[in-house]
Structure 1
């Protein structure tokens, strides 16, 4: 192998490494897992609106693409701005130390610009669906960026309630792209997501208790302790029990499966009062919550598929 060939190989390897690093940085900046998790409720809301208005999906491809891309960009903008604002506490918390805002791989000015640009483009795309869809998109964005990230996250334990609103409006964006949102179905979807996020976030806060404490973030387990947090988890999970019955138009199989999921989660939550390993239990609740919301919203689509 001559020097030129060796040099070419070395440059190729460096290029691959840089590309890999960039992709990892963008994935962290966009909070890819959170972003993708929020796309499903948007799609479910859109799908159910088509189903209950007996509208063809084929004739609404354009609206569908505008809704999905627009809402995803708005959410991405909010998540990017969250990373930009939280760079100081992200530098303290172990799980966020490698974010590009902390490492400096992506300059903060670039991050801020990206957050603003993604937000504006997202809103413009949603405006081409319906004004109501754009309004719900704005509610979610404003709640997450200003009311949660910049105001309540570091000060008050009710930051979780505020943050839950931003995640709960996602199916309303999808639904109102087709039909006005004053309808039992999208309201129930909002309530399910709002309530689900409380025990889900509490479980994360318990798992990352030391990190949140070090960063001075006012999460419930940090301020009030694990015992109070466990009680709150049980209360919120119990509040999910009646909600499937308000979705009776989705059919008996849905109600049965959703109820079994709720009962299983409640049993797992109550077991927290008897556990000796709080962190292991919190991880169980976290994993259950992630699977719970995914199964539930996918199930809503499955039971309304045309036969």
Structure 2
């Protein structure tokens, strides 16, 4: 029996809350933090006028929001079959038929096309990197790797880490070592963040036959993978020494704190789910604090 035979395809206009779920607004907002940081840092480090750069910064933020939101909407469209099997996804409008497939695709394509137009209006590199993010997320992650390999989270980390690159090139027009360092931070952060969430939902992914690392390899193997990415994060602040010793020290302490929390999983009395929750919450705070440090310390140096 098809989905449309079970219930009507739509039941009215979607609410703002449902729209946020379709475009995964929480995820988009999280990615806007490194996007802004990339743009801001480019302004400071290339000695550009902040006031004259405001238009590019605003257009970059709007374009990035539309591109990421549109890509997430396509992901929701493609994942409808597996989302129906996962209890945590049951309130998605794409699962409970609050939006038709046609309207969902139109919304997604409209957002991505308009977002790309805005990025290309700034400059070609910003548009190209945005397009690479779309292709990487939709094709290589959503359609291919998510359903076929335990490396899916790592594959998805590539397009997920492009926001700071878009932010930087929107201002500078070309990439730099600092921009690549920001990319590397977001790239290494993502497996830890999503593995923590996947540990909590491993049973759901197993039911949906999605080869997430915890569901296939178990907790111990996933924990090792998380530690490897924590180690990758550790030297990255030293690549960003242009921001000064204070930044390097504070960012390193932030990394060591995360490693210390990770080590608590080796206690014999550790509750895997509670540990994963703590790691997930730390990951959310890590992203905000790290890029806040980038912005604040570069601002102090600029002043």
TM-score, length-scaled by structure 2: 0.93
Alignment of 1:1-307 (within 5 A): 22-274=15-267, 275-305=269-299, 306-307=302-303
Query: CA–CA distance in 1 between the matches of 2:39 and 2:212?
Result: 33
CA contact (8 A) 1:181 1:187 kept: no
How far is the alpha carbon of 1:109 from its aligned partner? 1.0
C-alpha deviations, 1:187-243, integer Å up to 9, x for none? 100111100111111101101111111111110011111110011111110111111
Query: CA–CA distance in 1 between the matches of 2:159 and 2:141?
Result: 9
Q: Specify whether residues 248 and 44 from structure 1 end up closer, same or farther in structure 2 by C-alpha distance, changes over 3 A only.
A: same
Give the match's secondary structure for 1:102.
Answer: coil
CA contact (8 A) 2:14 2:99 kept: no
RMSD value, Cα: 1.5
Structure 1 unaligned segments of length 5 or more: list them.
Answer: 1-17
How far is the alpha carbon of 1:30 from its aligned partner? 1.3
How far is the alpha carbon of 1:20 from its aligned partner? 10
Q: Specify whether residues 252 and 266 from structure 1 end up closer, same or farther in structure 2 by C-alpha distance, changes over 3 A only.
A: same
C-alpha deviations, 1:91-110, integer Å up to 9, x for none? 11111111111111111110
Question: Which structure has the greater CA radius of gyration?
Answer: 1
Query: CA–CA distance in 1 between the matches of 2:229 and 2:54?
Result: 37
Query: CA–CA distance in 1 between the matches of 2:179 and 2:54?
Result: 21
Query: CA–CA distance in 2 between the matches of 1:237 and 1:256?
Result: 16
Query: CA–CA distance in 1 between the matches of 2:14 and 2:200?
Result: 27
How far is the alpha carbon of 1:276 from its aligned partner? 2.6
TM-score, length-scaled by structure 1: 0.91
CA contact (8 A) 1:199 1:236 kept: yes
C-alpha deviations, 1:90-135, integer Å up to 9, x for none? 1111111111111111111100111111111111110011111111
Structure 2 unaligned segments of length 5 or more: list them.
Answer: 1-10
CA contact (8 A) 1:127 1:134 kept: yes
C-alpha deviations, 1:141-199, integer Å up to 9, x for none? 11111100011101101111111011111100000011144311101001111001111
Query: CA–CA distance in 1 between the matches of 2:21 and 2:122?
Result: 29
How far is the alpha carbon of 1:273 from its aligned partner? 2.2
Query: CA–CA distance in 2 between the matches of 1:276 and 1:248?
Result: 37
Number of aligned pairs? Answer: 290
